[in-house]
Amino acid sequence: MGPIGKLKLGQNPMATATIAAVVILMNFIVIASAADVPKLEIFPSQKVQRKAVGQAMILTCRPNVPSPNLVADLQWKDNMNNTILPKPHQIYQPVYDSKGHRIRENTGRNPPMFTEYMTGTESLALIINHLSVEMEGKYYCTASYATNEILETSVTVKTYVGITWTNAPENQNPILGEDYVVRCEVKADPNPTIDWLRDGDQIRTGEKYVVETNGLLIRNVQESDDGIYTCRAAVLETGELVERTIRVEVYSRPAITYLPTTLEATEGKPFSANCTATGKPVPEIFWIKDATQQNVATADRFQVNPLTGVLNINSVTQDDYGTYTCIAKNDAGVVDQKTKLNVLITPSIHFLYNVTGDSQKEIALTCRAKGRPAPEITFSRWGSDDEYAAGVQVDDERITLEQHFDEEKGESSGTLRIARAQRSDDGLYQCKARNTGGTAYATGHITVQFPPDFSHMKDLPPVFSWEERKVNLTCLAMSIPNATIEWRWNGKPLKDLNDKNLQIVGTGPRSDLIVHPVARQYYSVYKCVATNILGTSQIDIQLKEARVPEPVPAAEPKQLTATSITFDIRSPPVEFGMPITAFTVQYKEAINPDWSTAMNRSWSPDSPYIVEGLKPQTMYHFRFAARNQVGLGMWGVNTQQSTPKRSAPEEPKPLHSPVQNDIEEPVVVSPYSDHFELRWSVPADNGEPIDFYQVKYCPGVKMAGTWHELENQCQSVEVADSTSYEMSRLAGNTYYRIELRAHNIIGFSSPASVIMKTTRGIDVIQMAERQVLSSASIVGIAVGGVLLLLFIVDLLCCVTINMGVMASMCRRTKRSPSEIDEEAKLGSPNGWRFPKPNCSGQLVKEPPPSPLPLPPPVKLGGSPMVSPSDEKQPLQTPTESIKQNSTVEFDGKFVHSRSGEIIGKNSAV
């Protein structure tokens, strides 16, 4: 449209609107006419299709015509204008038979491209299974319409090579301390660009990293370079972007950290060696014997742990000697190191003989041994760990140890030389052969010969006899070799006297002379003469006539009570070998002139000399005598002593051992926190029987060395018929002062004081509350419950139907009274056995044992020999009083009293 037309349109709006409507109408007419034009359409609709090589693709050709049934000969042509054939029809042929056996190969293959009608549509598809570069070009879809019109359309297929990883392992292992290229090689067409990332950050070329065409160079690899790296490839023309994740783990070459240059093993014994190595990954360790180039892990008697490198040999032989190579290998490399195994031979002693030598001369004991290396030989006395050192001994210059070695032959010898041998050198000696392979032992004996010796008999007492009793004189000579013994009397050999009262038994090294001293001449000195090849020795043995002891020189009263006197007796002089065996006292009232009715008592020499059962305020006469093996000596020390009047009892003695844990006074510790059993011995009653004891106990504390009692908490009790009392409801970890007094009709004794401390009880109780029954306790309770149930069932059977175990026991125990009386008379065992349960179920109860090892309580009573009613009458000697004499012996802890020998009318007065 020219300028005039434009001007006219602009100047005439009506004309402009008309022209626009005409244009729009014409466009609708064109579009409607185009829709009625027959044509072919290709999908996808782009005229140029880009696909990567190797991929599959499908192109669909569809007729767009008014009458689809008039379309014929629809087909595809390739880039060479060749018609693309449809997919050939294949007949199914089974590959496997009914039994599962392959009968043919599955050779069915589709052609590289083919056409196929799409089901339900009039479209013809072109299918390319594997696109190649050669398939690039223009493809045509043609058809005929209404038999006279040819329809045709085309599409251009262009190919490109996609990103392909050619050398990019996902796990790579650089070596510590070396340069390494993390490989990432990629192929694509067009050429791709490569960049690297680590932890999301892009890596750029620098001192540490260099981005190369074939990968990422890491200089001087360190353990810190471990990690995940990302190799990213991009093709800008196609917009393809692919990432490759590569795990980098730094390896280190193996290094042997421990292997001794020399190893020592002992023949016949197990052996273990260690070759340790470091590296990443953990290296595998091998042991190779160089002489045979054999991996010892495959040999007998050898075991190798490839992880720890420990080599074990069950039993070493000489053939195991040689050089071994330890090899450590991992994915980063291999390293080896050599060591030499020396086989040690355990020492063996092949020469050691007993030796005999004379006293004061040299004796040599030699020991020889084999081994490798040549063993060191030493000696020691049997039973002692102290060994003799090489050379002269510091503590005894008489003894020298000589040592000789022959390393080439593996032999050595040792000689123990003793100059001027003594009797003390006699005995067993142990030879010890020692090297690094072990120690061998052998024992030899050194015999030191010496002349007879009687030094062991010089301190023996004389031999005693009396009343013509035969006596044995023993002579034992110490000597090597054994000595022969000859007896002499008055300078003459006894064997020549032919005296029937002198009988010789044995001629050495022990000989006994049996003497029957029928006359005083036999109480004499006899000479024993011993002889061997080294000399002669003699000793005098004296036979003495024994006599009764001398009179007792003194006996003083040391302690007086109303009913007892304790004496201090001085022993008369005694002869060596004839000790005093007992002291005897006779005592009677001073108004009684007849000693034949006197009472007697005897004591052993080490016991307290106490006379008991006396009357208060009474004068007594006492005389004393000593006894030895011969008999009772003469009476001496005829003295008088009066007993004091009746009085309060003596102070009782508590039977507890205190623990000295207090500065001022000892303390008795109770084993319990809430109670304590006080026990004491019965004191002298001083003429009146003890009727009770008073026990007073008060808690208290010590402040500045002074005892302070809590008077308001004191408790006092009286105890009768017992010598013990259990204090209960005590406070734990508390001190108590206990006062104990004995009482009779006259009054109280002086108090015996005891400081007692209880143990802590709170912690113990808390611990007991926290205890949990163990499995053994639960089982014990269960078993006890079953036994109790059985007992109840058996008891019911006994009561109801008279059957069961208890019923059987009841029937056995039903005996006549006469039988029971006979058992009581004869002391039947049934009298002391634990009583059997009867049908009533009652059992005999016994008091529980005391936790302390103390004497049993003593029942209170009067004096065993004197009662108050007897004091008004003169002292009466009971019937057969001489047969009731007593002997008292003291063993250091307790006094034992028993009937003694008859003394009285027949005693020497």
Higher-scoring residue by pLDDT: 692, 798: 692
> Average pLDDT of the chain?
81
pLDDT of residue 248: 92
Q: What digits encode the pLDDT tens for the residues 569-585?
A: 999 998 888 999 999 99
Q: What is the CA radius of gyration of the chain?
A: 63
DSSP state of 836: P
Residue in 742, 760, 733 with CA at minimum distance from that of residue 696: 742
Give the residue-averaged pLDDT of 254-269: 91
pLDDT of residue 771: 47
Give the residue-averaged pLDDT of 471-496: 92
Q: What digits encode the pLDDT tens for the residues 430-447?
A: 999 998 878 999 999 999
Task: Say how far apart CA 540 and CA 620 lie, in whole Å.
Answer: 50
Higher-scoring residue by pLDDT: 323, 93: 323
Task: Say how far apart CA 868 and CA 745 lie, in whole Å.
Answer: 11
Between 67-81, 797-811, 823-837, the lowest mean confidence (pLDDT) is in: 823-837
Give the residue-averaged pLDDT of 798-821: 58
Phi–psi pair at 646, nearest 5 degrees: -60, 145
The dihedral sign for the CA sequence 718, 721, 725, 729: negative
Packed helices 3-11 and 13-35: angle between N→C axes, nearest 10 degrees: 110
Rounded to whole angstroms, the maximal C-alpha distance in the chain is 199
Give the residue-averaged pLDDT of 696-725: 85
Task: Say how far apart CA 488 and CA 492 lie, in whole Å.
Answer: 5
Q: What digits encode the pLDDT tens for the residues 51-102?
A: 888 889 999 999 998 888 888 889 999 989 899 998 887 666 666 776 677 7
pLDDT of residue 760: 84
Give the residue-averaged pLDDT of 22-46: 67
Question: Could you tell me how far CA 212 lies from the centroid of its own chain?
Answer: 65
Report the length, in residues, of the chain.
Answer: 909
Q: What digits encode the pLDDT tens for the residues 841-850?
A: 333 333 333 3
Q: How many CB atoms lie within 10 A of CB 785?
A: 10
Q: Using 50, 70 and 90 to split pLDDT, how confident is the model at 141?
A: very high
